[in-house]
Amino acid sequence: MVVPGIASAIFGPMFCPSTMKDIPFTVEIDESPESSAADAEGAPGKPGPSRGGGSKGGGEPPTLTVTQLTRRIRGLLEEGFASVLVEGELSNVKQAASGHLYFNLKDEGAQIRCVMFRAAAASLRFEAEDGLQAVVRGRISVYETRGEYQIQVLVLEPKGVGALQLAFEQLKARLEAEGLFDPARKRPLPALPRCIGIVTSPRGAAIRDMLQVLERRFPGMPVLLAPAVVQGDAAPGEVAGAIALLNQVAAQRRIDTLIVGRGGGSVEDLWAFNSEAVARAIHASRVPVISAVGHEVDFTIADFVADVRAPTPSAAAELAVPVRDDLRAAVDGMRDVLFRRMAQTQALGEERWRSLVSRLSSPEGALRQWSQRLDDLDERALLAGRVILEQASGRARSARERLLGFRPDRFHAHHRALAGELEGRLQPALHRALTRARERMDAQMELLDSLSPLTVMKRGYAVLRHAGGRAINSVKDVAVGDAISARLADGVLEAEVREVDREEENNDPPGRG
């Protein structure tokens, strides 16, 4: 059924009536939860019964229910926009519990709702997030329950960067924030492993290269292979499971080092080693892990998580084991050094032993030596005793002689005579000393008397003082009416100044101050 009038009225220039003419309407039943079952009464091409008594004129359209109208609009949109490629920015991204992905796609002027059902969303390599510039491929449909048109997205690609590269950067940033790349947690490889565990494909070139290198460097080194698919959708789970399996048997099989890797390939081929499952399996491994994925220029998430990154599987085998011949040469060298030092130590010991043996005599000889030495010491002791006794006797005689010189009777008589002599000399000496002292005192008294102010006063001089006792040295020190005192040789006069006669200094008579 064709209703060009309704289509033009609803969509305007979006649909050209000439192109829409003679296009039959069909309804595509969607199995998603957003699509309801087809209603036979309201299916496109089968107009339902009219409401309100039917049409009154041949030109009027039949009355439709909302559901019928919405389904016809849906049919037009899905038919006219069966495939669209739209570019925009993701916003309001939500992951439903059912697995469906809902978001808006917008630009500067408009936005449109989008839905990506579980089957399509599960194939995304990256995480859809707000603000991501993307290109979506899908078709226009209508969510009938709300009467909203939307894009049913089949393919979602980030703009300007590949989906795999974006997924790589997102996972790398998240695991780095969790600390899986922390250098502090990386462990050193053992110098000489007892057994090496390898996780790779048993049919790839990588396992052959690693086994050849191991056999060349250390023939007979035990190797335990945990086979795993290293490419495709099943690869992440198998690689992670193989790592966990080798950790379970590590103690029993004495595995000290794990090599996880594969040969080179495209980004898609190596993608298993960029998966979160493999990264967390390497992080959880109790055995040090060497990541050996691809060629030297290839870097994967596994390289960042592993304890050691090898550029190739062959290089990983070289890092895992030393060269046995080099070890044997080093051991031989150390053994030679050890034997030489042992021989030197033994020779020195033997020489010292011989020296001690030569110095060691029989007990009887040593006893005779000590007996003879005892006799010698006894003789020397007797001689020393006699010498000490003679010296003590000489010192006693000398002391006795000095003591006799200090007899009390002789000492008393001598000192009595000396005292008498000193007494006779003392009296004249005292008389002479007293005479000289008296003469010096008389001379000093005469000098003192000549310098005394009283002697001067006896010649008619006086000492003038103010009433307060301050000496008067100049006529300038007094004024008319001042009370003064005059000290004479035989008393004091109290007076009053009646006149002051100041003489000029150049007229002072000689001898006045």
Alpha-carbon distance values, 215 to 218, 222, 262, 379, 435 (Å)? 5, 10, 19, 88, 136
Residues 141 and 204 in one domain: no
Q: Which residues pair with 112 in a beta bridge?
A: 105
- Cα separation, 388 vs 490, in Å, equals 93
507/65: higher pLDDT: 65
- For the residues 133-143, what does the mean pLDDT come to? 83
**Span 51-89, pLDDT tens digits:** 444 444 556 778 878 887 878 887 777 777 777 878 888
Residues 197 and 309 in one domain: yes
Least confident of 294-298, 397-401, 413-417: 294-298
| C-alpha dihedral, 436 to 441 to 446 to 450, nearest 10° | 140
Residue 146 domain-assigned (yes or no): yes
Residue 444 domain-assigned (yes or no): yes
CA 359 remoteness from chain centre: 64
- For the residues 247-260, what does the mean pLDDT come to? 94
Residues 223 and 309 in one domain: yes
Tell whether the model's pLDDT for residue 22 goes beyond 50. no
| C-alpha dihedral, 478 to 482 to 487 to 490, nearest 10° | 150
Residue 242 domain-assigned (yes or no): yes
Residue 362 domain-assigned (yes or no): no
The predicted structure's pLDDT at residue 504: 64
- Cα separation, 118 vs 311, in Å, equals 38
- For the residues 239-253, what does the mean pLDDT come to? 94
> Which 3 state secondary structure label does DSSP give 260?
strand
- Cα separation, 253 vs 198, in Å, equals 13
Both tokens of 56, joined, read 């009154």
Residues 76 and 97 in one domain: no
Alpha-carbon distance values, 397 to 254, 403, 405 (Å)? 101, 10, 13
167/346: higher pLDDT: 346
Closest to 241 measured CA to CA, from 250, 228, 224: 228
With cut-offs at 50, 70 and 90, classify the pLDDT of residue 226.
Answer: very high
- For the residues 446-469, what does the mean pLDDT come to? 79
- Cα separation, 117 vs 96, in Å, equals 10
The predicted structure's pLDDT at residue 195: 95
- Cα separation, 426 vs 498, in Å, equals 69
Mean pLDDT (the chain, rounded): 79
**Span 323-335, pLDDT tens digits:** 988 888 888 889 9
With cut-offs at 50, 70 and 90, classify the pLDDT of residue 505.
Answer: low
The predicted structure's pLDDT at residue 164: 63
**Span 165-208, pLDDT tens digits:** 676 777 788 888 888 889 899 999 999 999 999 999 999 889 99
Domain of residue 422 covers 407-451
The predicted structure's pLDDT at residue 163: 59
CATH number for the domain that contains residue 99 = 2.40.50.140
Complete edge-to-edge strand list for the sheet that includes strand 308-309: 223-227, 196-200, 257-262, 289-293, 308-309
- Cα separation, 206 vs 213, in Å, equals 11
- For the residues 36-50, what does the mean pLDDT come to? 40
Residues 265 and 226 in one domain: yes
Phi (first) and psi of residue 124, to 5 degrees: -65, 130
How many domains does the chain contain in total?
5
- Cα separation, 243 vs 238, in Å, equals 9
Residue 239 domain-assigned (yes or no): yes
The predicted structure's pLDDT at residue 2: 33
213/267: higher pLDDT: 213
Residues 202 and 320 in one domain: yes
Residue 381 domain-assigned (yes or no): no
Q: Give 243's contacts (C-beta < 8 A, 6+ positions apart).
A: 199, 226, 258, 260, 278, 281, 282, 285, 289
Residues 226 and 266 in one domain: yes
With cut-offs at 50, 70 and 90, classify the pLDDT of residue 50.
Answer: very low
The predicted structure's pLDDT at residue 410: 66
Least confident of 3-7, 40-44, 258-262: 3-7
- Cα separation, 223 vs 258, in Å, equals 10
With cut-offs at 50, 70 and 90, classify the pLDDT of residue 7.
Answer: very low
Contact present, 291 and 306 (Cβ < 8 Å):
yes
**Span 461-491, pLDDT tens digits:** 888 888 878 888 888 888 888 888 888 878 8
The predicted structure's pLDDT at residue 37: 38
Residue ending a domain, among 326, 353, 381, is: 326
Residues 200 and 265 in one domain: yes
Complete edge-to-edge strand list for the sheet that includes strand 463-466: 463-466, 483-488, 491-496
Closest to 265 measured CA to CA, from 221, 289, 230, 239: 230
Q: Using alpha carbons only, what angle is made at residue 54 by residues 51 and 55, rounded to the nearest 5 degrees?
A: 125
Residues 317 and 195 in one domain: yes
Residue 390 domain-assigned (yes or no): no
Tell whether the model's pLDDT for residue 150 goes beyond 90. no
Residue 337 domain-assigned (yes or no): no
Q: Which residues pair with 195 in a beta bridge?
A: none
Tell whether the model's pLDDT for residue 98 goes beyond 80. yes
Residues 76 and 200 in one domain: no
Residues 244 and 261 in one domain: yes
Phi (first) and psi of residue 292, to 5 degrees: -135, 80
The predicted structure's pLDDT at residue 258: 96
Residues 252 and 321 in one domain: yes
**Span 425-436, pLDDT tens digits:** 888 888 888 888
Both tokens of 267, joined, read 């980004």
Tell whether the model's pLDDT for residue 20 goes beyond 80. no
